[in-house]
């Protein structure tokens, strides 16, 4: 009969626990990275939803004027600034012009301040008898 040494059982248990610990640490690193990615994706989706809402509110603005601007921040801390510039000016040949609206976004990311610029265009409705309220006031009324 062959008797097995007693110390070998303890050594086998230590090796098995070490392998198990390494496996769990790799698993936890993967879960942690997945949780960070999910959080990052949710913040991005919230920012995109806020931008869509702001651009939808811009559709409801009655009248724009060149050089006008508005700024603010979203609930997640993203800062925004919107500026209106003429893109196609009204002339004697062109009765309706076009405004270029630039929306600049800025937020704090993992690698510092992140920036994004979005451009959109709106038809210029010119009526010399109306005085346009500022973009800031009109957007404020819509909130």
pLDDT per residue over 119-132, tens digit each? 999 887 655 455 66
Residue-wise pLDDT tens digits, 102-120: 999 999 988 899 999 999 9
Report which DSSP code applies to 137: H
Residue 62 scores a pLDDT above 70:
yes
Strands in 97-109's sheet, in edge-to-edge order, are 69-73, 79-88, 97-109, 112-124
- Across residues 82-93, what is the average pLDDT? 83
CA distance 117 to 106: 9
- pLDDT top residue among 71 and 131: 71
Residue-wise pLDDT tens digits, 19-40: 999 999 999 999 999 999 999 9
- What is the tally of helices (H) and strands (E) in the chain? 2, 4
């Amino acid at each position: 009969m062959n008797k097995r040494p007693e110390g070998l059982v303890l050594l086998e248990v230590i090796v098995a626990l070490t392998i198990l610990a390494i496996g769990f640490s790799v698993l936890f690193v993967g879960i942690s990275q997945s949780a960070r990615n999910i959080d990052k994706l949710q913040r991005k989706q919230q920012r995109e939803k806020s931008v869509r809402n702001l651009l939808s509110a811009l559709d409801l603005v009655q009248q724009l004027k060149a050089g006008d601007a508005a700024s603010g921040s979203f609930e997640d801390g993203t800062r925004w600034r919107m500026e209106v510039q003429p893109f196609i000016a009204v002339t004697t040949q062109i009765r309706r012009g076009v405004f270029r609206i630039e929306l600049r976004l800025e937020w704090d990311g993992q690698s510092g301040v992140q920036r994004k610029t979005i451009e959109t265009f709106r038809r210029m409705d010119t009526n010399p008898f109306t005085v346009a309220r500022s973009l800031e006031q009109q957007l404020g009324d819509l909130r």
